[in-house]
Structure 1
Amino acid sequence: MNEKEVSEIRRRFRPDKSNITRVRACYVNEKREIVSQFEQSLAVTPQEESERILALLKRTLSGTLGKNLIDVEFSTGQVAGSDEHRLLMALRNSSLKDEEAVQALYQKVIGSLSIEGDYLILLTHDTYDVPYRSKDGQRQDDASSEVFSYILCSICPVKMTKPALSYYAHDDRFHSREADWLVAPPELGFLFPAFDDRCTNIYNALYYTRSVSENHQELADALFHLEIPMPAAAQKETFGEILGDALAGECSYEVVQSVHDELCGMIGEHKADRESEPLKVSRQEVRQVLESCGVSDEHVEAFERRYEAEFGADIGLSPKNLVDTRQLELRTPDVTIKVNPERSDLVETRIINGVKYILIRANDGVEVNGVAIHISESAHV
């Protein structure tokens, strides 16, 4: 799914937009015991509560594609006859009315998921009469050629609030508020099937993880029997380690700066062109950047071997997972320097009298702890 398609489904989660009439839920405690199960009709739920439930579900479609929203692709064999795909289809085709299938899903989540504390499994089903869009992008609501029937699962931590002093307007007084259980935004979840090219695609699902450092592969294994990409934070760390180890002595500031600038440039162009398809950078594209920096063939080939071993030869990565477009960071054991990526030219590395230095060109506006300082001529080397 691309950004436009995700946004189109996200807009469904409003009382006046969706066909969601009820949600199913399973409350699980920290001992992995089911505390309660219930089915709640949104038609008889107060509007404020209904909107909050839909807002929780909507958060399962938030974040960045490739970072928080991960495409899951089933093999032809899985779609043809696997237990995991058969279960998802049973849930969707029965509109969550197949009790055996619902209980099986609950048990898959409970038996596999490793998170601390209590949590709530929320399940809902929706049918969307997809409005036709002409070639010029004009929407025609009365010309629907596709009905997108899908399920959405949200796994929300349930946390105990702290006792507090609260103001009560009805008697114009402050009173103690007791500790209570609060449903937090979803930590994990999924959409099935995918909404690709604005059509139903039973070969794909969309997996959600709030954290960029933990994607809970154990849950993906239980639900889809598939390995999903490593978390975005791990991708960034691994990519940096590959550059440093493979390029060895040729991994200079200028080389890392060039890779950073190239990836940031790709992200900027993709955004400016309003491309909806997720941006990917390939192993070959990084190789070209390294070659343009004068890195030797030996070290370029070492980089490719490590890339293939860690990510796969034909796997493209999201540049947003590899660089921070807001800053370029230089770090020593004692000092951290953060630089505007657009002014990375202000930084250079030198060896002066046998000592290694990071030099930053400074004109006006230099501050230390918020205090403006002057660099005197006597500091001239």
Structure 2
Amino acid sequence: MVKSIPIFLSEQYNHERELIHMNKKDIAEIRKQFKFDNDLMKIREIFNVYVQKETGEIYHHVSQPFQMLELEAQELFLANFKKVLTGYLDAKLFELKFIRDVEDSTQHILFDGLRADSTEDWKENMLQIVGKMFAHTVYEFDTMVTFIRGEYRKVTRKRDLESEEGGNDEVYSNEFILCSLNKTDQPKKALLFDYIEKEFKSNNVFDPIINLASPLSGFLFPAFNDNSADVNHILYCAGKANQPDGTFIEVVLNCEEIITAQEDKDSFEQILKKVIGDQVDSKVISNVYEEIDKMVQENEESEESEAPTLDYRDIERILTVSGVENVETAQVEHAFKAVVDDEKHEFKASSLVPKSIKINTKVADVSISPKELKNVKYIMYQGKRCLLLEIDEDVVVEGFRLESETL
């Protein structure tokens, strides 16, 4: 049984209504459906628009059923669409909220595109977006903008195989539009061997190569969460981690500004410095990261949809249990307000814990996990600065086991 996913549209629902945001599981579930012969992902049409460099003029565009493409081309595009949905939330992927009451709103253009009955109407909607993309942005290379529209299905309840009634799986379905912006590369000169003529020849191909391996940007509309399609939000993909295109977000997509995971992490570290100072015991920092990571892990184990966040009260609690003495609420709140403009801002816990901590010195560079930072000591020995690492195994260098010394 197939059910249409309920759509939360701004004209029908209060904009202040808080919806559950997309999480990495939602994105991963959609990403893995981009594969051949998949009943849960039906791509109906693909629309490619070739745009010339410097002028931003459309040189050519063509639309056709996705299944009419050669299998090799389908494979390349499917990999490209997965790339648009690959990356960490708030670093490479961002769920954006549309700004209300915007003239020529991209939200409305995309919604009309979802509901377009004919290919010509859909193409007209997508060409409007292409026009917005290149109205204020100039590239030094030709680009290709690819749009697809299709139907995404999600199984929400498996049928009972032992039931006499039989029946089908319960499946929710909804239409979507995905966009991918890709650069072109000029083919490199190469020497070829002609098997038929049995001779070596130079490569004389001058046709530009569409680089589908590294999208410049892209988006998925609408956002999906908790078996619902939310047309008030869009999933945006940045070309590089922690480097979202502000112009693309504001002018092209007409969405609100965002804070990257790196910006969140930097602000959090500034608050810590204002509260505990520049010098701190390694155990304290390790405990802080461990407490935050515990919040993230507990959230994942409980399969909560909403990611855990921290306000100044949470920061005060974490510092206290991590071993920082005499932490006062007013002190933390003051530091919070000094660093963050929005008093109601909440840090996403998943953005604050680094995957590894790097200690750089002239002698050596050390990379360790945050939870192991407590095993690192910075000491003075015989008037010299030393980095002491606590380990539980022998140290082997170039096949030789080092002798141990007692300080």
Q: Displacement, 1:105?
A: 0.4
Distance in structure 2 (CA, Å) of the matches to 1:223 and 1:152: 15
Q: Which amino acid aligns with 1:84?
A: T
Aligned equivalent of 1:94: 116
TM-score calculated relative to the size of structure 1: 0.80
Aligned equivalent of 2:237: 208
Match of residue 38, structure 1, among 40, 58, 61? 61
Distance in structure 2 (CA, Å) of the matches to 1:117 and 1:40: 23
Aligned equivalent of 1:29: 52
- Aligned pair in 2 of structure 1 residues 262, 129: CA closer, same or farther (>3 Å)? closer
Q: State the structure with bigger RCO (CA 8 A, min sep 6), 1 or 2.
A: 2
Distance in structure 1 (CA, Å) of the matches to 2:282 and 2:182: 43
Aligned equivalent of 2:352: 322
- Aligned pair in 2 of structure 1 residues 126, 223: CA closer, same or farther (>3 Å)? same
Q: Displacement, 1:350?
A: 3.3
Percent identity between the two aligned chains: 21
Q: In the alignment, is residue 308 of structure 1 matched against residue 340 of structure 2?
A: yes
5 Å matches for 1:2-21? 2-17=23-38, 18-21=41-44
5 Å matches for 1:106-125? 106-113=130-137, 117-125=141-149
Q: Displacement, 1:58?
A: 2.8
Structure 1 gap segments, 5+ residues each: none
Deviations 1:44-86 (A, max 9, x none): 32122122223212321222233322112236x449x873322
Q: Displacement, 1:357?
A: 4.1
Q: In the alignment, is residue 54 of structure 1 matched against residue 97 of structure 2?
A: no
Indicate the larger mover: 168-177 or 292-301.
168-177
- Partners of 2:23 and 2:306 within 8 A in 1: yes
Q: Which amino acid aligns with 2:111?
A: M
Distance in structure 2 (CA, Å) of the matches to 1:323 and 1:162: 42
Match of residue 198, structure 1, among 221, 227, 241? 227
Paired residue secondary structure (1:152): strand
5 Å matches for 1:36-185? 36-41=59-64, 42-74=66-98, 77-78=100-101, 83-94=105-116, 97-98=120-121, 99-113=123-137, 117-128=141-152, 130-133=154-157, 141=168, 143-144=170-171, 146-165=172-191, 176-177=202-203, 178=205, 180-185=208-213
Q: Which amino acid aligns with 2:26?
A: E
Paired residue secondary structure (1:43): helix
| Residues paired across the two proteins, number | 368
Aligned equivalent of 2:15: none
Distance in structure 2 (CA, Å) of the matches to 1:341 and 1:173: 59
Distance in structure 2 (CA, Å) of the matches to 1:274 and 1:173: 65
Q: Displacement, 1:31?
A: 1.0
- Partners of 1:117 and 1:158 within 8 A in 2: yes
Distance in structure 2 (CA, Å) of the matches to 1:287 and 1:91: 48
Query: Which structure: greater helix fraction?
Result: 1
Q: In the alignment, is residue 372 of structure 1 matched against residue 400 of structure 2?
A: yes
Q: Which amino acid aligns with 1:217?
A: G
Paired residue secondary structure (1:25): strand
Q: Displacement, 1:203?
A: 1.7
Deviations 1:248-304 (A, max 9, x none): 245443332222222333344444x17263533312333311122224326534442
Distance in structure 2 (CA, Å) of the matches to 1:49 and 1:126: 17
- Aligned pair in 2 of structure 1 residues 83, 249: CA closer, same or farther (>3 Å)? closer
Aligned equivalent of 1:189: 218
Paired residue secondary structure (2:91): coil
5 Å matches for 1:280-291? 280-283=308-311, 284-291=313-320
Distance in structure 1 (CA, Å) of the matches to 2:75 and 2:302: 31
Distance in structure 2 (CA, Å) of the matches to 1:266 and 1:108: 41
Deviations 1:110-148 (A, max 9, x none): 124476533221111113455452699xxx75544x541
Distance in structure 1 (CA, Å) of the matches to 2:225 and 2:338: 33
Distance in structure 1 (CA, Å) of the matches to 2:334 and 2:159: 46
Q: In the alignment, is residue 294 of structure 1 matched against residue 320 of structure 2?
A: no
Distance in structure 2 (CA, Å) of the matches to 1:267 and 1:116: 42
Q: Displacement, 1:211?
A: 1.6
Distance in structure 1 (CA, Å) of the matches to 2:275 and 2:169: 58
Structure 1 vs Structure 2 CA RMSD:
3.5
- Partners of 2:52 and 2:141 within 8 A in 1: yes
Distance in structure 2 (CA, Å) of the matches to 1:8 and 1:339: 31
Q: Displacement, 1:102?
A: 2.2
TM-score calculated relative to the size of structure 2: 0.76
Structure 2 gap segments, 5+ residues each: 1-21, 161-166
Q: Which amino acid aligns with 2:29?
A: E
Paired residue secondary structure (1:111): coil
- Aligned pair in 2 of structure 1 residues 49, 202: CA closer, same or farther (>3 Å)? same
